[in-house]
Amino acid sequence: MELTKIERLLVKYKNAETTLKEEDILRMYFTSNKVAPHLKEYQLIFNYFKSNNDETYTKKIKLNNKIKKRNWLMVAASITLLLSTYSGLTMINQYNQKKQAAENLAQITNVLKLVSTNLKKGNQALKKLHVYEDSVYKIFKKIK
Amino acid sequence: MNESDFLKVVLPFKDKVFRLAKRLLVSKDEAEDATQELLLKLWKNKDKITSYRNTEAFAMTMTKNYCYDRLKSKQAGNLTLIHGNYKEKETSLDKKLEYIDSVDRVHLLIDNLPDQQKIIIQLRDVEQYNFKEICEMVNMKPTAVRVSLSRARKTIREQLTKQHSYGVNQD
């Protein structure tokens, strides 16, 4: 490719007057390895355009109906969440009730134990009283 | 029109949509989201697709408008490119690194152009659309497109020469 032709095309290119075919010629020239040293910057430019053109959209394309499915899934998920929290709450309530009952029982047993110890004390006091009574009775018997 | 018909229409230009979106929105994630959103919009209007004279041009226009909206709404948390370190690399002997770096420089120069010039240079020099198609996509008169494209090309070249000669002087 003669250099003068390329240079002529470059002037047109800068003025945005080149056709696509002419730009193809430029692209071919500047992406080859034989570029005149004073035109190095164009090599950079055209190589950039070429490399940019290689970039692609790699993600999967999601269309409407798949999103609908996702909506449906979301509804299902929210329902299960609701149910599980509800059942979870009832279970927690039951557990709490059981715990409460056990505590109450413990308290009552404590109270009853206290009462029984007090009663025992009372019993012992009564025994002493019996001893007194017996002795008093004996004395009265002798006097009689 | 069923799904596979639609994909047949859309697949040839989905990458072009993605690249234009990335040119405008900078970040890859943003561009992917935009592409997905756009294809979905097209899918929703699939019945009208056959009536469009040129679906591809229509899609590109939609992409452009969508990206403008995104940029305006400032929802887009653009990644800012950090490019303060290329001077060091310029003196490096690794030619390949230098090449990659230079290509990046072109990218940055395009990035600094006004949005309209960015779009036009993308459509012409990367995607190689003809002027008629570009006029349709950006809704501009042919002369205006040419002026814009010429300005973009000149700016890139001038900036690059400036940087390049600076590098050469250092060598």
What is the reported pLDDT for A115? 93
- Residue of chain B whose Cα is closest to the Cα of A67: B40
B86-170: CATH, from 2.60.120.10, 3.40.1390.10, 1.10.10.10, 1.10.8.60: 1.10.10.10
Q: Is B74's pLDDT higher than 80?
A: no
What are the φ/ψ torsions at residue B78 (nearest 5 degrees)?
Answer: -60, 145
Q: A20-31 and A40-53 are packed helices; what angle lies between their axes, rounded to 10 degrees?
A: 110
Please report, to the nearest 10 degrees, the dihedral formed by the alpha carbons of residues B3, B4, B8, B13 taken in order.
50
Note the pLDDT of residue A15. Answer: 95
**Residue A124 in 3-state DSSP?**
helix
How close is the nearest chain B Cα to the Cα of A50, in Å?
A: 7
Q: How confident is the prediction along chain A (144 residues), in pLDDT tens digits per residue?
A: 589 999 999 999 999 999 999 999 999 999 988 899 889 889 989 999 999 988 899 888 888 655 566 778 889 999 999 999 999 999 999 999 999 999 999 999 999 999 999 999 988 888 888 888 888 888 888 876
Residue type, B30: E
pLDDT value at residue B169: 44
Q: Which residues contact A65 (CB under 8 A, 6 or more apart)?
A: B3
What is the per-residue pLDDT across B113-148, written as a single tens digit (0 to 9) for each? 999 999 999 999 999 999 999 999 999 999 999 999
All CATH 1.10.1740.10 domain ranges in chain B, comma separated = 3-73
pLDDT tens digit string along B158-170? Answer: 988 876 565 544 4
Give me the architecture of the B3-73 domain, per CATH: Orthogonal Bundle (1.10)
Cβ-based contacts of A15 with chain B (< 8 Å) = 146, 150
Q: What does the DSSP 8-state code read for residue A46?
A: H
Chain A residues touching B153 at Cβ < 8 A: 13-14, 16
The answer for A57, left when phi > 0, alpha when psi is -120 to 50, beta otherwise, is beta
Which of B4, B32, B102, B104 is best to mutate for the A interface (most A CBs within 10 A)?
Answer: B102
A contacts of B10 (beta carbons < 8 Å)? 61
- Are B9 and B54 in contact by the 8 Å Cβ rule? The answer is no
| Domain boundaries for CATH 1.10.10.10 within chain B | 86-170
Query: In chain B, which residues have their Cβ closer than 8 Å to the Cβ of A45?
Result: 106, 156-157, 160
User: Is a pLDDT exceeding 60 seen at residue B79?
Assistant: no
State the pLDDT at residue B163: 66
B171: tokens are 């060598």
